[in-house]
Amino acid sequence: MHTTHVRVAVIGAGFSGLAAGHRLRRHAGIEDFVILERAHDVGGTWRDNTYPGAACDVPSNLYCFSFAPNPTWSHAFSPGDEIQAYLRRCAREFGLVPHLRFGHEVTAARWDHDRACWRLTTSGGAYSADVVIAGAGPLTEPAMPALPGLADFGGRVFHSARWDHEHDLSGEHVAVVGTGASAIQFVPRIQPLVHRLDLYQRTPPWIMPRNDRPLPNWQRYLYRRLPVAQRVVRQGLYWQREATLGAFLGPLDRVTALATRQALAHLRRQVPDPELRARLTPDYRLGCKRVLLSNDYYPALTRPNVELVTAPITEVRPGGLLTADGTEHKADTIVLGTGFEATRPPIARVVTGRDGRTLAEVWRDGMAAHQGAMVAGFPNLFLVIGPGTGLGHSSMIVVIEAQVRYAVDAIRRMHDQGIADVEVLPRAQEAYNAWLDERMRRTVWATGGCTSWYMDERSGRVSALWPGSLTRFRRINRRFSPVGHRARRWDRIT
């Protein structure tokens, strides 16, 4: 089989992959790279999540590349289809189309230590690469609940991230399992269509008002004619988000108390029934789980054709779902809003390092990386949105840009210094993660009294999040440092 060699292989064509491609071309002058994408379009999360009402919960002007502002956003919070269109446009304008390889799912990536390269098997052919940048993202593989009998259900079952647009929900009894970020967006959209909607809630989320609004034509015109105005707005949003960080990082303070009062007032205004309101009131501290934004979720739950089910599901039967209180609920369709395998990324199962172990095997007891980017035993592999990089208060696009800058800086230094491979030392990785854990120990994510997808159930660590300011994250990842790493020069490769 013919193997194509490239200097850099980028995995994934979402925000991370496109950012990597742009920086390789514009800042490092590297053209010898490919972007391997399993699907047939760019977009990642925004290509896959097309459920009714899909939209971003970060302000539009902060949820785009800093180097490619979009003056045509229609709303303060972008609809999903606009984000997807923006990413397609970025791929074209960044000159990345010739580098894209669609239909190339990476099924194996193995480090060849003798030749200092990665050998990748994809559904579209074989590749080798000096360096791999893994930008597949943590929200790619839907989490399917382990419900007894689900495989024998007599109706249609699909996950929100694999929405079945050919299936008409009109007039059906629909069971929605899960009350996370996707469900609060699609439930209000499908509620008017269905005959009955049973919403199965395990834990109620904290929900704040969604201060969305259409962006007027004059504002979009201003952004087109005077781009600096949009950059000023972006900076304002950035610092506004940074100012909320105190609510997450320490004990209950005035910021947290004020936000809690606002969320409870929002619930009181929209749900007049005290019994229903009590069932929708969280019993954990705001911020422990992802804080959601919605103006129409609570009203949808007050409609006559909606029932909130809080009894646990014990079994799925051919005609419906049985709950722990002995009630069998009829269902024609089950929609799973059960999130993603965020702490068990699928790519970890196919990446094999220097000692023959996969990343999933190394992470058997929980995810860990150095600066969220490199893992001991996996030379020349750079993760984007790796462990310890998620945010509870701001835009992940800023994190992506910082991690891509770190990776490309390392690649450039390797080239300038004749380095064949670089790998973080175990002691450096352990020290970094001990520092992270100490900072995380006092945060709401560790002490707020909830279980969330931020936390790795294997280790009990909050392994998905960064426990600090975005400004500090950017500073730490401004450039690659060889301290705490081992390196081999090309002249030592036989």
pLDDT tens, residue by residue, 38-65:
999 999 999 999 999 999 999 999 999 9
Mean pLDDT of all residues in 94-106: 98
What distance in Å separates the CA atoms of residue 470 and residue 402, rounded to the nearest whole number? 10
Superfamily the domain 150-211+247-336 falls into? FAD/NAD(P)-binding domain (3.50.50.60)
| pLDDT band at 255; cut points 50, 70, 90 | confident
pLDDT reading at 77 higher than 70? yes
Q: Are 44 and 14 in contact (CB under 8 A)?
A: yes
Domain residue ranges of the chain, discontinuous segments joined by +: 3-141+341-492, 150-211+247-336
- Are 3-141+341-492 and 150-211+247-336 equal in CATH topology? yes
The yes or no reply on domain 3-141+341-492 and CATH 3.30.360.10 is no
User: If 0-12 CB within 10 Å is exposed, 13-18 middle and 19+ buried, where does residue 150 land?
Assistant: middle
pTM: 0.96
pLDDT at 330: 98
What distance in Å separates the CA atoms of residue 203 and residue 464, rounded to the nearest whole number? 20
Listed in sequence order, the residues at least 6 apart from 331 whose beta carbon sits closer than 8 Å to its beta carbon are 153, 155, 173, 174, 175, 198, 319, 320, 321
pLDDT at 252: 63
| pLDDT band at 494; cut points 50, 70, 90 | low
Residue pLDDT, tens place only, 215-241: 999 999 999 999 999 999 999 999 999
